[in-house]
Structure 1
């Protein structure tokens, strides 16, 4: 469904070019959920933006559903992007539009006719159980409701791929569960291929089939999340899998009693 081959992306820096993504290969099968995890600066958000060419790679190829995106002209790329939905960390809803108008605007930009727009808005709201909030403005919605509107907006164009860039980072743990539940339903019921970027291992454990671990712009390890024991080979993967918080070296019980 999604294949990246040797993709590299550099950005200008004060001391010369900075390589954000370094010769990455990635294959995401149709209908699967691919997690991408790493610390800040690992290159994971840049990598996901290379999939729909919001960032154009300096080298390498990007294939979505068998089509090479890097050779498309701007008009063809714009049409192709309508089938690649994207959800952002901070919702990106327009404050002066209602929830329904936010979704309809995305459809209007995609050239969908008026009658079809109304039907798709209603269908998208139904998927995320927010039909009663269609006329509400973003300021009147909770963070979780705003993210569900963002999911509905991404679904309205009937995408085959959904890219999620830190979709739970701006919400609380309980809302995280709700957002992930809707993403899981979208994947299972609609068959949409999902790529999920996060720095939280518990998020990818909950929903992903595979996780690509990134460090320094490279994918350094893949972990299959099929229920079998995880045996990470890299230090970064072992660290990310261990979700305990340590503020100082652990001491034995005897040491604690002695103190």
Structure 2
């Protein structure tokens, strides 16, 4: 469904060139949920934006549903993007539009006619149990409801792929469970392939089939989440899997500063 081959992305920063994604290969089977985990700066958010070419790779290819997106023209890329939904960390809802109007906006941009837009908006809001909030503005919705509107907006164009960039980072633990439940439902009921970026191992454990661990722009390890005990081989993966919090003692901190 999604295949990245030798994908590299560089940026120019204040200290010179920065390789955000470094020669990454990744395959995501159709209908699966792929987790991507790593610390801040590991390259995971850049990687997910390379899948729909919001960031264009400096080298390598990005294939989605049988098409190499790096090889098509801009008009074809825009058409292909309508089938790649995206959910952002901070919802990205327009405050002056109602929930229904926020969902409809994606359909307007895609050129869907008015009658079809109304039907799809209703269907998308129903999927996330927000049909009764259609005429409510984002400020009157809870954080979890706002994220569910964002999910509905991403579903409105009937995508085959859903990209989720830290979708639970801005909500509390109870809302996290709700958001993940809706994502899992659309994966299982609608067959949508999901790629989910997070820094929380408990999030990928709850929903993903496989997790790619990123460090320094590279995918350093894959862990299959099939219910069997995880045996990470790299230090970074072991740290991410062991999500307990351990506080360092004052003495350890002093020795660290001295070193």
**What is the TM-score with the length of structure 1 in the denominator?**
0.95
Superposition map of 1:6-25 within 5 A: 6-25=6-25
Query: Following TM superposition, by how much is the alpha carbon of 1:241 offset from its aligned partner in structure 2, in angstroms?
Result: 0.7
- In structure 2, what is the equivalent of residue 86 of structure 1? 86
Indicate the SS of the match to 2:13. coil
CA distance in structure 1 between the aligned counterparts of 2:213 and 2:163, rounded to whole angstroms: 17
- Cα deviations across residues 160-185 of structure 1 (Å, max 9, x unaligned)? 00000000000000000000000000
RMSD: 0.9
Query: Following TM superposition, by how much is the alpha carbon of 1:229 offset from its aligned partner in structure 2, in angstroms?
Result: 1.0
Query: Following TM superposition, by how much is the alpha carbon of 1:15 offset from its aligned partner in structure 2, in angstroms?
Result: 2.8
- In structure 2, what is the equivalent of residue 205 of structure 1? 205
- In structure 2, what is the equivalent of residue 254 of structure 1? none
- In structure 2, what is the equivalent of residue 77 of structure 1? 77
Indicate the SS of the match to 1:17. strand
- Cα deviations across residues 155-213 of structure 1 (Å, max 9, x unaligned)? 00000000000000000000000000000000000000000000000000000000000
CA distance in structure 1 between the aligned counterparts of 2:248 and 2:3, rounded to whole angstroms: 42
Query: Following TM superposition, by how much is the alpha carbon of 1:137 offset from its aligned partner in structure 2, in angstroms?
Result: 0.2
CA distance in structure 2 between the aligned counterparts of 1:15 and 1:209, rounded to whole angstroms: 38
Superposition map of 1:95-174 within 5 A: 95-174=95-174
- In structure 2, what is the equivalent of residue 48 of structure 1? 48
CA distance in structure 2 between the aligned counterparts of 1:17 and 1:113, rounded to whole angstroms: 45
Structure 2 unpaired stretches of 5+: 250-259
Query: Following TM superposition, by how much is the alpha carbon of 1:243 offset from its aligned partner in structure 2, in angstroms?
Result: 1.1
Indicate the SS of the match to 2:244. coil
- In structure 2, what is the equivalent of residue 219 of structure 1? 219
Indicate the SS of the match to 2:186. helix
Indicate the SS of the match to 1:221. strand
- In structure 2, what is the equivalent of residue 193 of structure 1? 193
Indicate the SS of the match to 2:16. coil
Query: Following TM superposition, by how much is the alpha carbon of 1:248 offset from its aligned partner in structure 2, in angstroms?
Result: 2.1
Indicate the SS of the match to 1:159. coil
CA distance in structure 2 between the aligned counterparts of 1:128 and 1:244, rounded to whole angstroms: 32
Superposition map of 1:235-246 within 5 A: 235-246=235-246
- In structure 1, what is the equivalent of residue 253 of structure 2? none
Which deviates the most, 169-178 or 7-16? 7-16
CA distance in structure 2 between the aligned counterparts of 1:16 and 1:125, rounded to whole angstroms: 45
Number of paired residues? 250
- In structure 1, what is the equivalent of residue 5 of structure 2? 5
Query: Following TM superposition, by how much is the alpha carbon of 1:114 offset from its aligned partner in structure 2, in angstroms?
Result: 0.3
